[in-house]
Amino acid sequence: MADKSPGIDREILMSDTIYQFSVKTIKGEQISLQQYQQQVLLIVNTASDCGFTGQYAGLESLYQKFKTQQLVVLGFPCNQFGAQEKGSDREISEFCQTNYGVSFPLFSKIEVNGDKTEPLYEFLKQQAPGLLGSQKIKWNFTKFLVDRQGKVLKRYASATKPKAIEDDIEKFLESS
């Protein structure tokens, strides 16, 4: 699929990347993930009332440290685990800003498992299965690292702190 010859449909070229997806921002705008081409992405399902919620600070720290090198953290709130994200999109946005100074992009609340799984997350789970090949997201703050070409590189468990991902991020920022 790396052929970039004239006449090849651009969507076919991107069909095995995250760029084929559109998502809704936390402000309700539908955007294409194509706008993040040539950037390294850290995609995370989040929650405001979880034992891992403090990871917002670490995610913001990574974003601030590496955004000039084209790292973008994308946060996707989800209420599927212990009902730990009950708020509206507006309430979630205010919570993240007020409590953690979140400036990285946040998106509308989604589902990451089950019949109503966000298509982006179906793709992420397929490209980077969890432990023993599981395609389910086990809990809030599961993280996916995506390279500049939109390929999913790695999946990290909820308990993996953002700081522990820093070396991988540096490696992928330098190599791409």
The residues annotated with a catalytic role in the active site are 50
Any domain includes 12: no
β 152-156/143-146 pair status: antiparallel
SS3 116: coil
Any domain includes 42: yes
The whole model's pTM is what?
Answer: 0.89
Any domain includes 2: no
pLDDT of residue 135: 81
Any domain includes 3: no
Whether the per-residue pLDDT at 131 is higher than 80: the answer is no
Residue 173's Cβ-count burial label (10 Å; 0-12, 13-18, 19+) is middle
From CA 72, how far away is CA 43, in angstroms rounded?
8
- State which residues form the domain around 83: 20-175
Q: How many domains does the chain have?
A: 1
Any domain includes 132: yes
pLDDT of residue 21: 96
Any domain includes 153: yes
Q: Does the CA dihedral 112-142-63-93 come out positive or negative? A: positive
Residue 168: give its domain's CATH number.
Answer: 3.40.30.10
What are the residues whose beta carbons fall under 8 Å from the beta carbon of 96, sequence distance 6 or more?
46, 48, 56, 75, 102, 106
If pLDDT is split at 50, 70 and 90, which confidence band does 176 have? low
Instruction: Give me the mean pLDDT over the 64-74 stretch.
Output: 97
Any domain includes 9: no
Q: 34 is written with which tokens? A: 């194509």
Whether the per-residue pLDDT at 166 is higher than 80: the answer is yes
From CA 76, how far away is CA 68, in angstroms rounded?
22
Any domain includes 104: yes
Instruction: Give me the mean pLDDT over the 147-174 stretch.
Output: 94
Whether the per-residue pLDDT at 13 is higher than 60: the answer is no
